[in-house]
Structure 1
Amino acid sequence: MPRAVAPTEQPPDTVSPRADARPAGERRPGTVLRSDRTMVRFDDVTRRFGDTTAVDRLDLDIREGEFFALLGPSGCGKTTLLRMLAGFERPDAGRILLAGEDIAAVPPWRRPVNMMFQSYALFPHLTVAGNIAFGLKQDRLPKAEIAARIAEMLRLVRLEGLGGRKPHQLSGGQRQRVALARALAKHPKVLLLDEPLAALDKKLREETQFELMALQERLATTFVVVTHDQEEAMTMADRIGVMNHGRLAQVGTPSEIYEQPRSRWVAGFIGDVNFIEGTVAAADAGGVTITDPGGRRFRAAGPTTAGIGDRVTLAVRPEKLVVATGTAASATAEPAPDNTVTGKVGDIAYLGDMSLYKVRLDDGTLLKASVTNARRRTEQGIDWDDMVRLSFPPDAAVVLTE
């Protein structure tokens, strides 16, 4: 992780965002239509560390005013990408453009970018107000403007009255807000957040996600967050870039990434999923019919590049499966309808708001189905070793060819 800037060093410099900056991309209902202007562009960017390629010929556009998440497992290159944008790393090849300007030769403290580190990197000997004011003092802003900016930031992050405290006198959530206020105090064009909520407990992390979303909408500043937490990215981001081995596996809105993954890897990384292997037996304008090794037939709606005879994988999310018990799950002599299988409940996970059932089919295939707990779990009528029938509609399945 990058170290904190010591009080004797020159801090990052920023400029105020455009007055007409607006949020970009898909956003929550009721908000303004977002700009399509590009704020950040990675153009064929590569970064190597010895024999390891951390970022491999990557292309990415991030829009002005967008909340963008870089999501992926450890070592996928997402933090390296963020550090190159901040200026702490330099690409071995390619260009990084900020508002259309190539920033390769611009040092970190001259870029209109600020970074909030995972460790927060607060100065322990300074008060909350002193931490927020640090960069502003280095820029030699007038005292009245610094005081006004501090008051503005304290209101923004809801820390009014705590300006005189030291970091050790604050809770983890309050320290996180101080770090955020310090990063925003200089009005950067782009705010970079490296695992910003990792140090918080689950409940506080969930609350802070919505606070960050509301704050970003209010400021209309471009936020770029790095996280390995899928739920965090899905909750906060307008768009997500899913990274794997230094490359972007897919870029899209949370709903696109979840509902229409482009590969088996993306489907498996984002949320929980069932995979059904099979061969395309029929194809038409409405979708394809697939037969698995056990002779079961599955119908998937929607366009696909797969043709008859191709080996494909069906991806079906557990919540898309309908679970039937009793006589509906009893075996019959007639073939089961398409997208319908019967199996035995092998395990149950009670998760409070939902229950997850692991169902073993006759051939050993394991499928997972989740059911919302509208009633107590003991009233669900499903128990270990029960026979159940699972089914799903054709539009719930995604055909994967990669």
Structure 2
Amino acid sequence: MPSEKPNQIRFAPWEDTEAVPLIRFRNVVKKFGEFTAIENLTLDIYEREFFALLGPSGCGKTTLMRMLAGFETPTAGEITLDGRDIVPVAPNRRPINMMFQSYALFPHLSVADNIAFGLKRSPMPKSEIAGRVEEMLRLVRLQKFASRKPHQISGGQRQRVALARSLAKAPKLLLLDEPLGALDRKLREDTQFELMDIQEKLGTTFVIVTHDQEEAMTVASRVAVMDEGKLMQVATPDVIYEQPESRYVADFIGDVNLIEGTVAEAEEGGYKLVWADGAPPIHAETDVPLSLGDSCTFAIRPEKIAISTDKPDDRANAVPGKVLDIGYLGNISTYHVQMPNGAIFKASATNSRRLSRRGITWEDEVWLSFTATAGVVLTQ
């Protein structure tokens, strides 16, 4: 994802009304028999974006990518790349490359020959191929492994070979299908930042398909959250996390407490929400227009909730509860707290000191508190 540096214009072409998208989906439908995999989808992706298609299995993200690659044809609608209708264009005629999760490296060829494979079948002059291969090896930091076979290098290195091979022909668009799924967690996290760095250096547009929320949020300039062939929300990672537009998006991305409530009273900047008999109402600031008696959902992330043994006086919201469980995750501790009505809230606290004294333990009576702006009011 292109990053901001001092005196650098923020990368956000989707906010520029004059910017022309590189990729355009217009009212795209894809059916397999009676099953609708993609339903009337419209989406713009801009040049130099690292764009993520995110969602559970069966949501349509892979079908969308396969239509971009040319492996599937839309039932209806239009797909353009750089202003050109690519639906009738054969996959091998599109300026698009695809990197598969399996990497699909040739086991009998060296690293260098794997990278050169597509170049040897392209119009590139043979005299230029060696230089291009060397450039790709430098890009992915594999110069020392050029003569090795795939089985002689690690999984992370094989992933980089596959990436170099995909980028060797300088495609306008690179599609990545769960590219890090075969790597262990630590290596996957390291490789995410390598991918971002390579994408920024080259300026190639990347579209990644993943079901890993953390991966999408880490690498992407924007994320499209999908469900049942529809776009639920398209936005930057911070907006997806902090300002979800629906219960589905809020629940799909990270941990969240979803509290069903009813508007009891309008107040300055927001509303007073009744959510449980005998429980203090929730004060929530929001721009969402609501009327008295309307049902809504108050979504709040665990890290936005403070936990203490004494009732705080400086928070708009404070509810009592009892600690049911504690999860120590190293950098944070997560508390499951039962409310008087039986509902369970999650709160998390950063373990900022190595040997901090933990004053809260199981079965303790505690207070959970949060500000009026800490959560989001959702109506869908």
Q: TM-score, normalised by structure 1?
A: 0.89
Q: Structure 1 residue 94 and structure 2 residue 72: aligned?
A: no
Partner of 2:296: 312
Instruction: Name the aligned partner's letter for residue 258 of structure 1.
Output: Y
* Contact map agreement 1:190 1:224 (CA 8 A) in 2: yes
Instruction: Name the aligned partner's letter for residue 337 of structure 2.
Output: V
Q: How far apart, in 2, do the equivalents of 1:127 and 1:337 lie?
A: 63
- Provide closer, same or farther for how the CA distance between residues 337 and 370 of structure 1 changes in structure 2, counting only shifts above 3 A: closer
Q: How far apart, in 1, do the equivalents of 2:183 and 2:31 lie?
A: 32
Partner of 1:359: 337
Q: How far apart, in 1, do the equivalents of 2:4 and 2:339 lie?
A: 40
Q: How far apart, in 1, do the equivalents of 2:217 and 2:4 lie?
A: 12
Deviation of the 1:309 alpha carbon:
1.2
Matches within 5 A, 1:277-316: 277-284=260-267, 286-295=269-278, 296-316=280-300
Q: Structure 1 residue 71 and structure 2 residue 54: aligned?
A: yes
Matches within 5 A, 1:302-341: 302-325=286-309, 327-328=310-311, 338-341=316-319
Instruction: Name the aligned partner's letter for residue 301 of structure 2.
Output: R
- Provide closer, same or farther for how the CA distance between residues 169 and 32 of structure 1 changes in structure 2, counting only shifts above 3 A: farther
- Provide closer, same or farther for how the CA distance between residues 97 and 140 of structure 1 changes in structure 2, counting only shifts above 3 A: closer
Partner of 2:16: none
User: Which has the larger displacement, 290-299 or 114-123?
Assistant: 290-299
Q: How far apart, in 1, do the equivalents of 2:148 and 2:123 lie?
A: 23
Matches within 5 A, 1:22-33: 27-30=3-6, 32-33=9-10
Q: How far apart, in 2, do the equivalents of 1:338 and 1:291 lie?
A: 14
The alignment partner of 2:72 has SS state of coil
Instruction: Name the aligned partner's letter for residue 352 of structure 1.
Output: G
Q: How many residues align?
A: 372
Instruction: Name the aligned partner's letter for residue 359 of structure 1.
Output: V
* Contact map agreement 2:316 2:371 (CA 8 A) in 1: no
1:221 to 198, 204, 217: 204
Partner of 1:9: none
* Contact map agreement 2:311 2:318 (CA 8 A) in 1: no
Extract unaligned runs of 5+ from structure 1.
1-22, 330-334
2:368 to 390, 394, 401: 390
2:152 to 169, 174, 177: 169
* Contact map agreement 1:319 1:369 (CA 8 A) in 2: yes
1:203 to 186, 202, 206: 186
Partner of 1:12: none
Partner of 1:342: 320
Q: How far apart, in 2, do the equivalents of 1:39 and 1:33 lie?
A: 18
1:43 to 5, 26, 40: 26
Q: How far apart, in 2, do the equivalents of 1:29 and 1:312 lie?
A: 40
- Percent of paired sites with the same residue: 60
2:140 to 133, 146, 157: 157
* Contact map agreement 2:224 2:235 (CA 8 A) in 1: yes
- Provide closer, same or farther for how the CA distance between residues 29 and 366 of structure 1 changes in structure 2, counting only shifts above 3 A: farther
* Contact map agreement 2:4 2:10 (CA 8 A) in 1: no
Q: How far apart, in 1, do the equivalents of 2:320 and 2:176 lie?
A: 47
Listed one character per residue, the Cα deviations across residues 338-369 of structure 1 (whole Å, up to 9, x for unaligned) are 52100000001110000000000111010000
Extract unaligned runs of 5+ from structure 2.
14-18
Matches within 5 A, 1:199-278: 199-278=182-261
Q: TM-score, normalised by structure 2?
A: 0.94
RMSD, aligned α-carbons: 1.8
Q: How far apart, in 2, do the equivalents of 1:365 and 1:318 lie?
A: 14
User: Which has the larger displacement, 49-58 or 189-198?
Assistant: 49-58
* Contact map agreement 1:355 1:377 (CA 8 A) in 2: no
User: Which has the larger displacement, 343-352 or 377-386?
Assistant: 377-386
Listed one character per residue, the Cα deviations across residues 201-244 of structure 1 (whole Å, up to 9, x for unaligned) are 11111111111111111111111000000000001101000000
Matches within 5 A, 1:372-391: 372-376=350-354, 379-391=357-369
User: Which has the larger displacement, 305-314 or 278-287?
Assistant: 278-287
Q: How far apart, in 2, do the equivalents of 1:79 and 1:367 lie?
A: 35
Q: How far apart, in 2, do the equivalents of 1:277 and 1:352 lie?
A: 31
* Contact map agreement 1:116 1:180 (CA 8 A) in 2: yes
Q: How far apart, in 2, do the equivalents of 1:191 and 1:98 lie?
A: 12
1:142 to 112, 125, 128: 125
Q: How far apart, in 2, do the equivalents of 1:317 and 1:337 lie?
A: 16
